[in-house]
Amino acid sequence: MKTLAEMDTPIFWAEGHPGALDRENWEVKVTGACANPQTFSWNQILALPQTEVESRLTSVTRWSVNGLWKGVLLKDLLEHVGAAPSCRFLRFWSVGYIYDTSIPIDIALKEKSLLAHSFNGDFLTEDYGGPVRGFIPYLWGYKSAKCVVRIDLMEHYVSGFWELRGYTDSAKIEAGPCRDMNDGGAIKEIQGPGEVFF
Ligand SMILES: Nc1nc2c(c(=O)[nH]1)N[C@H]1C(S)=C(S)[C@@H](COP(=O)(O)O)O[C@H]1N2
Ligand SMILES: [Mo]
């Protein structure tokens, strides 16, 4: 099984690379519309139920990479903090608080939406959003925030970093040509919308 780097998966940092990050001391704060807001330590994240899913990260810039993503289902995280009925969106913040993006709760509750720490059995490096990142295979990759430090449970939607710069708020994956990083960047067709299968 290949790593993301071995497949030459593009590395995107709109806000600039954060540099080396301390996995063991990583914390993710989950706050907002929930009964039990909590700051999760790295060990607490690993102590939550762990789920591995096979799916693709697919960029609006038209490349896609498939593999085994592992972490905590957002559904399980939401259950753990007691998400309120008024929670309608999740807003992810990346380290440095420059990059953010928000998704509707119905997408967060889907079976493959994760707070992910591993790809194909290895912990994610900083390049690819480690220690933990959002992994939302149902929407364009800009909804999968890297190096997540905070998740706000929101009653109202706010546009994020890329959404404010012209990408759609819905991030609905659209049909068309797309490079498959698992196949050396060969151009294939996305059937779309929704989770990508080649
Ligand atoms: N913090 C942060 N997260 C981010 C981005 C970014 O620039 N900064 N780019 C997004 C976009 S557009 C895509 S397609 C994926 C790419 O993930 P990768 O860099 O791990 O391949 O990360 C998303 N998450
Ligand atoms: Mo992207």
Separation between Cα atoms, residue 81 and residue 186, nearest integer Å: 42
> Would residue 195 count as lying in a domain?
no
* pLDDT for 32: 98
pLDDT at residue 161 in the model: 99
- Residue of 122, 125, 142 to test ligand 1 pocket, by largest number of atoms within 8 Å of CB: 142
In a domain, 5, yes or no: no
Tell how far the Cα of 112 is from the centroid of ligand 2, in angstroms.
19
Decide if pLDDT at 155 tops 90. yes
Give the pLDDT band (50/70/90) at residue 146: very high
* CA-closest residue to ligand 1 atom 11: 142
Q: Return the HEC string of 149-175.
A: EEEEEECCCCCCCCHHHCCCCCCECCC
**pTM exceeds 0.85:** yes
Give nearest CA residue, ligand 1 atom 24.
Answer: 145
Residue 3 lies in a domain: no
Cα(141) to centroid of ligand 2, in Å? 5
Going from the Cα of 33 to the center of ligand 1, the distance in angstroms, rounded, reads 26
Instruction: Check whether 178 has a pLDDT greater than 90.
Output: yes
Q: Which residues of 10-48 are buried (b: 16+ CB within 10 A; e: fewer)?
A: eebeebeebeeeeeeebebebebbbeeeeebebeebeeb
- The residue contributing the CA closest to ligand 1 atom 12 is 142
**Is the peptide bond between 131 and the residue preceding it cis, with omega within 30 degrees of 0?**
yes
In a domain, 123, yes or no: yes
| Dihedral angle, C-alpha 100, 24, 45, 70, nearest 10 ° | 80
Ligand 1 contact via 21 beta carbon (within 6 Å): no
Q: What is the pLDDT of residue 187?
A: 98
State the closest ligand 1 atom to the C-alpha of 63, by its place in the atom list counted from 1. Answer: 14
pLDDT for res 192: 84
Q: Does ligand 1 lie within 6 Å of residue 48's CB atom?
A: no
Secondary structure class of 61 (helix, strand, coil): coil
In this structure, is residue 183 part of a structural domain?
yes
Separation between Cα atoms, residue 46 and residue 70, nearest integer Å: 11
Cα(120)–Cα(70) distance, rounded to whole angstroms? 8
Instruction: Give me the torsion for CA of 105, 142, 167, 189, rounded to 10°.
Output: -100
Question: Is residue 197 scored above 90 in pLDDT?
Answer: yes
Task: Give the chain's mean pLDDT.
Answer: 98
Query: pLDDT value at position 15?
Result: 98
CATH at residue 170: 3.90.420.10
Question: Domain for residue 48, yes or no?
Answer: yes
Q: Is residue 78 part of a domain?
A: yes
Tell me the per-residue pLDDT of 41-88, one tens digit each, with 9 for 90 and over: 999 999 999 999 999 999 999 999 999 999 999 999 999 999 999 999
Residue 17 lies in a domain: no
3-state secondary structure 106-149: HHHCCCCCEEEEEECCEECCHHHCCCCEEECCCECHHHCCCCEE
Ligand 1 mutation pick, 98, 144, 196, max ligand atoms within 8 A of CB: 144
**Domain of 170, in residue numbers:** 23-190
Task: Domain count for the chain, please give it.
Answer: 1
